[in-house]
Amino acid sequence: MIGPGVKTAALFAVIIALFVAIGGIVGEFLFGSWLAGLLVAFGLSLVLNLVAYFGSDRLVLWSTHARIVRPEEAPRLARLVDELAPKFGLVAPRLALVPSPTPNAFATGRNERHAVVAATQGILNLLDDRQLRGVLAHELAHVRDRDVLLMTFAATLAGAISYAAQIVFFSTLTGGFGRRSNVNPIVLVVALVTAPIAALLLRLAISRSRELKADEVGATTIQDPEALASALERIDPANVRRPMQLGSPSQASLFIVNPFRGGGFASLFSTHPPTAERIRKLRALGIDHRYRVDVRSPSAGSPAASRS
């Protein structure tokens, strides 16, 4: 079975190859040089995504109305994060609370020093300590593995491909900068139409792969895959019933489950793998029988997990 880490590397290889191919076509069409096309498209995307990268933590906190809190303001959250962070080789990140009844959580920040782990009021109300521990382990796995950096790189490549296609489109309106191109028009049209869509799908596939990776790393680090599996069983239907009203769909990949979801055809463009698949993979890792929790119990929202 191919692990999520290997899958991520393979997807990055494909998106880089796509970037080189479309950049070469654009460069040949506009400048007579494939390298020039790569540099122009990559430069445009890099500038925009660097701005987003360095401001991502402030932007997502602002858009979700999240409030940075002191440990004494969220003692349960602080206790669990303080317990888990050393297991991931991390200093405990800052904590934030999101004033939303939709149960969800996310991690943001470009590195450990700027990391923030945020939880909605809804998830604190819904989950017991064991389930919340599984969710927080998932988020700390994202922080440890620098997933914000990886996704920014993927977004930069995908954006560069899209910008390259747009440059060609608008340049054709002005005569292609006055050059005669040797690029086959059919190849050019096909590249303009398909490359940006393919790049987007690859970026989303990388996001889904990183979610599976964080599931695995978080669950195995705390040696309790059932904690997150049972949490997902409760979180996912709650987000379907009551999607989050705060934040932006462009930030969906940050959350433990997509809070701005669509169904049917839209699932092709999902930032997260199907929840049922995630639960199946987690339970395939094995269950730590030192813990006992009845997720069907009406009181499962209270700290009911116990060591047997």
Q: Rounded distance, CA 297 to CA 101, Å?
A: 20
Identify the pLDDT of residue 267: 55
Please give the average per-residue pLDDT across 34-57, as a whole number.
70
Identify the pLDDT of residue 95: 97
pLDDT of 47 > 90? The answer is no
Where does residue 178 rank: exposed (0-12), middle (13-18), buried (19+ CB within 10 A)? exposed
Q: pLDDT for 70-126, tens place per residue?
A: 999 999 999 999 999 999 999 999 999 999 999 999 998 878 888 999 999 999 999
The residue with greater pLDDT, 85 or 154, is 85
Domain of residue 186, residue span = 4-307
Note whether 285 and 220 are within 8 A (CB): yes
Identify the pLDDT of residue 82: 97
Using CA atoms, how far residue 67 sits from 114, 156, 172, 221, in Å, is 15, 29, 48, 28
Please give the average per-residue pLDDT across 140-152, as a whole number.
87
Which residue in the list 139, 211, 216, 226 is annotated as catalytic?
A: 139
Identify the pLDDT of residue 171: 66
Note whether 95 and 148 are within 8 A (CB): no
Q: Is 139 a catalytic residue?
A: yes
pLDDT of 288 > 90? The answer is no
Identify the pLDDT of residue 305: 37
Q: Rounded distance, CA 154 to CA 206, Å?
A: 8
Of 55-64, 111-120, 150-159, the least confident: 150-159
Please give the average per-residue pLDDT across 151-161, as a whole number.
75
The pTM score is: 0.75
Over the chain, what is the mean pLDDT? Answer: 80
Identify the pLDDT of residue 46: 72
Report residue 37's pLDDT band, with 50, 70 and 90 as the boundaries: low
Identify the pLDDT of residue 303: 39
Which residues does residue 292 pair with via DSSP β-bridges, in sequence order? 306
DSSP-based three-state secondary structure for 108: strand
Note whether 100 and 47 are within 8 A (CB): no
Using CA atoms, how far residue 255 sits from 10, 15, 197, in Å, is 24, 24, 23
Percentage of residues in the chain having pLDDT higher than 70: 72
Q: How many CB atoms lie within 10 A of CB 259?
A: 28
How many structural domains does the chain have? 1
